[in-house]
Amino acid sequence: MDEFKRFFLRGLAAVLPTLLTIAVFLWAYRLVDTYLGQHITRGMLSVMCLLGEPSAVDAEEDSLKYGDPLDRWIETGPWAGIRDTAEHNIITSNALGSRDELVRARAEEARSHALWRIAFRKYKLGLVGFLIAIIVVYFVGLFLASFIGRTTLRLVERTVSRMPLVGAIYPNIKQVTDFLFSESKLEFSGVVAVPYPRKGIWSIGLLTGHPMKAIKDQTEVDLVTVFIPSSPAPVTGYTITVDRSEMLVLDISIDEALRFIISAGVVKPDTKLLNEPTLGKQSPLVGDAKTKKEET
């Protein structure tokens, strides 16, 4: 049983990243298609109906093959034993031969609409609506990159933020989307060790920048800001402000530090303490950081 559990967890760890990646892409596809693509497809369908019936569709055969199935089967005729569909009923409706012109016109309109629905399903034309939605989103982004677009967006956001109830939800959602899709990436200056949550306990942190001005103005201590990732999920953690002199600069890459944190300390990089950081270009934030050995 223990061996089964061990190999099952190992296999799950191997396939889970791929499955989650596929799930994210499917979720994004459904989101765009549901709220944009399908509406564009319906608009295309309405336009096509004005052009008449599609010639590349076999009315009865394709309507039974690609139509919306009903909970009944055809009992007579050449299609006996085949499940009936809503489109087949519309296409073969007796109303098409009605003497009432209004009834006949509506039946012919419904027939044309049903045939175009079949054509869209048969030739996968619904994907065209999705592709158009992607192009629309692209041009929206292109417009918002201009001065007029940015000004328009600010006016819209200001108006939406003042709406009752909506104004309490929209700003929070916008903060999340801005964080996820922001073009400015979060960059760290290096890997450090700081005495956190108390002296005598050293935590691995990522040097992020200078402290808040409100803190800096009220102390004469040389402070820096450090992000302390949580283990085993480093996407969450704590942001702290510490004295530069109490910080130890580690000669390891950010990837090595994250692997150490994710593995709860099992994967240990080859580390040593430095006077100056050697992670790419020198950072002005850690210039005079002292090691424990130098302080003594």
Per run of 10 residues, the mean pLDDT along the chain (length 296 residues) is 85 89 92 92 91 89 93 88 92 91 92 94 91 94 91 90 86 76 66 90 89 86 90 84 90 87 81 44 46 43
Position 291, amino acid = T
Domains contained in the chain, number: 1
Is 262 domain-assigned? Answer: yes
Domain around 195: 190-295
Give CA angle at 179 (178, 181), nearest 5°: 65
Core vs surface per residue 59-72: b (16+ CB within 10 A) or e: beebbbebbeeeee
Residues 187, 189, 195, 198, CA torsion sign: negative
Tens of pLDDT, residues 27-62: 999 999 999 999 999 999 999 998 888 988 999 899
Residue 249 included in any domain: yes
Q: Are 57 and 118 in contact (CB under 8 A)?
A: yes
Both tokens assigned to 6: 């061990």
Residue 253 lies in a domain: yes
Q: Is residue 271 assigned to a domain? A: yes
267 lies in some domain: yes
Instruction: Answer whether 229's CB lies under 8 Å from 204's CB.
Output: yes
| HSE-CB of 31 using CA atoms within 13 angstroms | 7
Report d(CA 244, CA 204) in Å as an integer: 15
Could you tell me the two tokens for 7? 């190999």
Structural domain includes residue 213: yes
Alpha carbon 65 to its chain's center = 35
